[in-house]
Chains A and B, each alone.
Chain A
């Protein structure tokens, strides 16, 4: 039994300790916005925040999350998340959309740490998120756009 907080609510997960957080979120909590892409932390589709930091949920065992606070795409909040999601919509970033929850989480984490990232900062922060539709040009533009929004 693991006790943790998911999107501000306390949950107890009665699952084997090695169960990846990804499948606990999806199969147990039905938080399906977090996606499966590779299962080996290569693509970033499953990115969530754990205690405020982006984490690949596909390789994060629930047994390591006792007392942790998990934030998923369904409830990611704050000015950075809003700015990112609004920019994503305005610039029509998504194509198929499968990777975009993870992209939005990584971009939000970046802007929380660095409100005015350069292209290089963006490349470094986002290089772990694969987009097979190659929406990268727009991801870069949308992060700059969100940063400008935040700057007001």
Chain B
């Protein structure tokens, strides 16, 4: 895999998009046919490129290079294609693309993958060009058949006509396949869109409401065994020895084998596998384990925060400005480890037949997991087939540069030494104790205010582990995912120093819905709110006054949300308090105002107003859903969630009884406004999450006098 900084590619993605989309020349079937093999295209079907197949039955199948786990790319990508083709939405189908970096790379990453809220942004021109090329070829085929000039032909809702003759896409498919692929197909002007910007129904809602959508756990192969792995409850521990005598006596248990990830129990079914695992006795080697508790790690990170780190953004002289400030305000914010806890725990199915293997999984980096299977089993990568399945949530958890699930299921196969099929099942306990957490983080903040109430100094020191280090995204130097959002703030804060201290631990860490913004959004927006209060400024107007001239989109969402909530500067009305936060992430701008009351010492959030600017709104309904979901995800976490390493490093939260999820009775009403925009679409899966926690904390401070210095609101065990 190539080494590319996610951040850097996000920044330059617009320049990369054009021209990479389509086979520049060659036979019309070269795209999907090459990717899918000769057998998968039905007779008379038309595949203008790697993304579209048109069948004689008039269905148009869009191959999604992005995994669908609820964030909506199947619907969004298909909308781009269907609009440019002038297809009827009813004829659109969506399937997952196979694993192929060449054809299906994320143009923001350079390899196939979903993450960083890039699915629509990187596909915006690519999928439109793919649709436009298909349309041009259908028109050319019709012109040839009817003996008319292509310019006399129009296409609407899946029908091609010159006013006299009419044909469906399906009827033209075979002839269209003989046309040459346009080198630079013209895409529509915005005024010509018919589907983009509308709320077409999501393609997967019905199947997901009737239990018919197929996920990895639903895959069954002939003779398949179910496998669960006993893992350490202290992260980084290794198997020293094990006793499988009791496990092997459990009816249905077939075998027990040690693999690099732990001790694997093979069984005829899941119930037997789980019972067998219960009966296993394992001794652990703790020499490489994280045996510190969260409390000890926090204490050490706090100590580290007393010394300067690597400066990642600087303006003026913050130390001198603090010296001369009228008022100095300081705060230390502590953020715990967090698990992603997707509803479908991790899983995979692998079938090995001779020198070939096939894997089914919700892979967010499919070529990485495919590569891991090939490597562990010693197979040629082209002999491994990857089926990217619908996944029951991810929130970053399945975006695995480590490909640890592919590697584990392959190790399970390898340990048997033969052919067969195996389903690897992670339980919720495996999920929560299995690391890859949002990094535990400390922010040390200092701010200065002069006699006139101006903020004259701003310091934000971040201490945490690096997510990108050692991954293909690692570019060396400071890892931007550790402090993104503490940098590039929309405010004009003179005398500003942002520095980062890289901490280490055996605990693997990972991007968690909105990555660095999960903590930087809170630290910056809570601390700023406190400074504004000390300076006697209104939270909304104070922010607007501080915004740089080039922060027009931040300003617009903040102004809009203030209008929606009827903000009049009153922070407390009766038993209700109001708090605001604004935060950009993944080039999407979000402002939120919350209405909160005190319910038994915990915030009860009644209402959330949200204004969002994510560029052109491809599907406002999906955008609203992602904002609602992002708010709920961030709120539940801020209120309840902390993955605690207890004494000796044991992970204390093992299931949903102690790692408490937001429930429907705790979900606020959410009102979303989408800013009208001419800008290219940006991300929507993650940006709804960062502002909710600081907005709630700011309201809580208005109500009670203090905002939490350590999240969550409900401390573990409290």
Which A residues have a C-beta under 8 Å from some C-beta of B?
Answer: 15-16, 19-20, 23-24, 26-28, 30, 32-40, 42-43, 45, 72-74, 84-85, 88-89, 92-101, 104, 122-124, 126-140
User: What's the nearest-Cβ distance from chain A to residue B217, in Å?
Assistant: 7
CB distance from A105 to the nearest CB of B (A): 9
B665 within 8 A of A: yes
What residues of B have a CB within 8 angstroms of the CB of A42 in the complex? 655-657
| Contacts A96-B393, A132-B341; A33 near B271 (Cβ below 8 A) | no
* Tally of contact residues, B, Cβ under 8 A: 63
Q: A40-B657, A93-B205 known; A132 and B393 CB under 8 Å?
A: yes
Whether A97 lies near B656 (C-beta < 8 A) is: no
Sorted nearest first, the 4 A-B pairs with minimum C-beta distance are A134-B632, A33-B211, A98-B392, A95-B70
Q: Which of B72, B621, B630, B632 has its CB near the most chain A CB atoms (within 10 A)?
A: B632
B175 CB, nearest partner CB in chain A, Å: 36
Given the known A-B contacts A94-B205, A98-B215, A135-B625, are A38 and B667 also in contact in the complex, defined by CB atoms under 8 Å?
Answer: no
- Among A94, A132, A137, A140, chain B packs the most CB atoms within 10 A around the CB of A132
- B344 and A27 contact, CB distance less than 8 A: no
Docked Cα-Cα span, A135 to B345, in Å, equals: 18
Contacting residues, chain B, for A26 (C-beta < 8 A): 217-218, 270
Could you tell me if A100 and B664 are in contact, using CB atoms closer than 8 angstroms?
Answer: no
Q: Say whether B221 faces chain A, with CB atoms less than 8 Å apart.
A: no
Decide: B390 and A130 in contact? CB cutoff 8 A: no
User: In the complex, what residues of B have CB within 8 A of residue A100's CB?
Assistant: 208-209
A42, A122, A128, A137 pick with most chain B CB within 10 angstroms? A137
Contact of B205 with A89 in the complex, beta carbons under 8 Å = yes
What is the distance, in angstroms, from B275's C-beta to the closest C-beta of chain A? 8
Residues of A contacting B341 with CB < 8 Å? 132
B406 at the A/B interface (Cβ < 8 Å)?
A: no
B656: contacting residue among A35, A38, A96, A136, CB under 8 A: A38
The reply to whether A93 and B209 contact each other, CB–CB distance below 8 Å, is yes
Decide if B210 is an interface residue (CB 8 Å cutoff): yes
Q: Which residues of B contact A32 (CB under 8 A)?
A: 211, 214, 217-218, 220
A136 to chain B, nearest CB (A): 4
Task: Using A45-B343, A85-B210, A131-B664 as known contacts, list a sample of 18 further A-B pairs with CB atoms less than 8 Å apart, ordered by residue number in A.
Answer: A16-B251, A26-B270, A32-B217, A33-B210, A37-B656, A39-B428, A42-B655, A73-B211, A92-B621, A96-B70, A96-B342, A96-B393, A100-B208, A100-B209, A123-B664, A130-B656, A132-B342, A138-B628
B662 at interface, CB cutoff 8 A: yes
Is B670 an interface position by the 8 A CB rule? yes
Q: Residue B23 at the A interface, CB < 8 A?
A: no
Q: List 16 A-B contacts (CB under 8 A).
A: A20-B271, A32-B214, A40-B428, A89-B206, A92-B625, A93-B209, A94-B202, A94-B205, A95-B72, A96-B390, A96-B391, A101-B211, A104-B210, A130-B656, A130-B661, A136-B664
A27 in complex: contacting residue of B201, B207, B226, B251, CB < 8 Å: B226
| Chain A CB within 8 A of B636 CB | yes
Contact B392 A38 (CB under 8 A): no
The contact string, 1 if C-beta is below 8 Å from chain A, for chain B 642-678, is 0000000000000111000111110101100000000
B242 contacts the other chain (Cβ, under 8 Å)? no
The answer on a CB contact under 8 Å between A135 and B628 is yes
Cβ of B189 within 8 Å of any chain A Cβ, yes or no, is: no
If A131-B343, A134-B628, A138-B628 touch, whether A97 touches B669 (CB-CB below 8 Å) is no
Q: Quick check: is B266 within 8 A (CB to CB) of the other chain? A: no
Query: When the two chains form their complex, are residues B663 and A38 in contact, meaning their CB atoms are under 8 A apart?
Result: no
- The reply on B483 being an interface residue by CB < 8 A is no
B685 — nearest CB in chain A belongs to which residue? A95
Would you give the shortest CB distance from A17 to chain B, in whole angstroms?
11
B633–chain A nearest beta-carbon distance, Å: 6
Is B151 close to A, CB under 8 A? no
What is the distance, in angstroms, from A94's C-beta to the closest C-beta of chain B? 4
- The number of inter-chain residue pairs (CB within 8 angstroms) is 184
CB of A60, distance to nearest CB on chain B (Å): 12
Q: Is B371 an interface residue (CB 8 A)?
A: no
Answer yes or no: B629 CB below 8 A from chain A CBs.
Answer: yes
Contact of A39 among B269, B344, B628, B655 (CB under 8 A): B655
Cα distance A94–B343 in the bound complex, in angstroms: 13
| B204 interface residue per 8 A CB criterion | yes
Supposing A37-B343, A94-B205, A96-B392 touch, asked if A137 and B427 sit within 8 A by C-beta, the answer is no
Check A36 against B667 for contact (C-beta < 8 Å): no
Q: Identify the closest chain B residue to A73 (Cβ).
A: B211
Flag if A36 contacts B269 (CB, 8 Å): no
Q: Within the complex, what minimum Cβ distance (angstroms) separates B228 from chain A?
A: 11
Instruction: Return the contact of B662 from the options A93, A99, A128, A134 (Cβ within 8 A).
Output: A134
Indicate whether B69 reaches chain A with its CB closer than 8 angstroms.
yes
B428-A37 in contact (CB<8A):
yes
Q: How far is it, in angstroms, between the C-alpha of A32 and the C-alpha of B210 when the chains are bound?
A: 11
B656: nearest chain-A partner, CB-CB: A42
Give A13 to B622 CA distance when docked, in angstroms.
Answer: 43
Task: Tell me whether B597 is interfacial, beta carbon within 8 Å.
Answer: no
What is the distance, in angstroms, from A124's C-beta to the closest C-beta of chain B? 8
Smallest Cβ-Cβ distance to A24: which chain B residue: B271
- CB contacts (< 8 Å) of B270 on chain A: these are 23, 26-27, 36
Q: Which residue of A lies closest to B268 (CB)?
A: A27
Answer whether A95 and B625 are a contact pair too, CB < 8 Å, given A19-B271, A126-B664: yes
Q: How far is the CA of A97 from the CA of B213 in the complex (A)?
A: 8
List of B residues within 8 angstroms of A101 by Cβ: 211
The residues of A that contact B71 with a CB separation of less than 8 Å are 95
Query: Is B212 on the interface with A (CB-CB < 8 A)?
Result: yes
Contacts A37-B428, A74-B211 given: A92-B201 contact, CB under 8 Å? yes
Task: Find B343's partner among A24, A43, A138, A139 (CB 8 Å cutoff).
Answer: A43
Q: Is A40's CB under 8 angstroms from B201's CB?
A: no
With a CB–CB cut-off of 8 A, which chain A residues contact B428? Answer: 37-40
Bound Cα distance from A132 to B689, whole angstroms: 13
Q: Output the nearest chain B residue to A88 by Cβ-Cβ distance.
A: B209
Whether A43 touches B344, Cβ cut-off 8 Å, given contacts A35-B392, A133-B393, is: no
Identify A127's interface contact among B214, B343, B663, CB under 8 A: B663
Bound CA span A16–B196, Å: 54
The residue from B214, B215, B631, B661 contacting A132, defined by CB atoms under 8 A apart: B661
Q: Please, how many angstroms separate the alpha-carbon atoms of A131 and B208 in the complex? A: 13
Q: Taking A28-B269, A130-B343 as contacts, is the C-beta distance between A94 and B629 under 8 angstroms?
A: no
Task: Give every chain A residue within 8 A of B665 (Cβ-Cβ).
Answer: 123-124, 127
Contact indicator A96/B344 (Cβ below 8 Å): yes
Residues of chain A with a CB closer than 8 A to B390's CB = 96-97
Task: Name the residue on A nearest B390 (C-beta).
Answer: A97
Between A20, A43, A89, the greatest number of chain B beta carbons within 10 A of the residue's beta carbon is seen for A89
Give Cα A116 to B201, complex, Å: 26
What residue of chain A has the Cβ atom nearest to residue B269's Cβ?
A: A27
